[in-house]
Structure 1
Amino acid sequence: MDEMQNRSLLTNRERQIFTLLVEDFTTKEIAGQLTISEKTVRNHISNTIQKLGVSGRAQAIVELLRLGELRLN
């Protein structure tokens, strides 16, 4: 197993965004909180969905929880 496989699947920004999604923030609220555009938030979400090979935000969240990449507080 190489070192890349031991690293997190998510970038720090993707983790921030999905953590806020789990806390029920909207795309607009996440953009405001992180001082980035809504389009950038959507791009990060889309990239994560593609990485995981799932079809939407809800499935991405379930998969990230299953993989231990996200935790519920």
Structure 2
Amino acid sequence: MSRSQYNRSSILTKREREVFGLLLQDKTTKDIAGELFISEKTVRNHISNAIQKLGVKGRSQAIVELLRMGELSL
């Protein structure tokens, strides 16, 4: 089954969606780490993992894709 044949939102973890929700609120990596009680490196790992899963090239593209999929809202 190709990536386009299933709902991509099901491959993101709850935490990855939380991190991107905070990015959408213009939070920095440091802010997100403090709010979620995790390290900045863990925040970056969540972002990197989600970008890879979504098949996009960066944070901005990931946010656009998550908005398009209905996983994030403005």
TM-score, with structure 2 as normaliser? 0.85
- CA deviations 1:29-59 (Å, max 9, x no partner) are 0000000000000000000000011000000
- CA distance change for structure 1 residues 63 and 7 in 2, over 3 Å: closer, same or farther? closer
1:48–1:34 Cα change, 3 Å? same
Whether the aligned pair in 2 keeps the contact of 1:10 and 1:69 (CA below 8 Å) is: no
TM superposition shift of 1:7: 6.5
Structure 2 stretches of 5 or more lacking a match? 1-5
Q: Distance in 2 between the 1:51 and 1:13 partners?
A: 14
Q: Which structure shows the bigger proportion of residues in helix conformation?
A: 2
CA positional deviation for 1:27: 0.2
Task: Please name the residue that 1:58 is paired with.
Answer: 60
* C-alpha distance in 1 between matches for 2:15 and 2:39: 13
Local SS of the residue matching 1:8: helix
Q: How many residues align?
A: 69
**CA deviation after TM superposition for structure 1 residue 15, in Å:** 1.1
> Identity, % of aligned pairs?
71
Question: For the aligned residues, what is the CA RMSD?
Answer: 1.7
- SS of match in other structure, 1:21: helix
The answer to whether the 8 A contact 2:33-2:43 is kept is: yes
Q: 1:59 and 1:6 mapped to 2: Cα distance?
A: 14
For residue 6 of structure 1, report the CA deviation from its aligned partner: 8.8
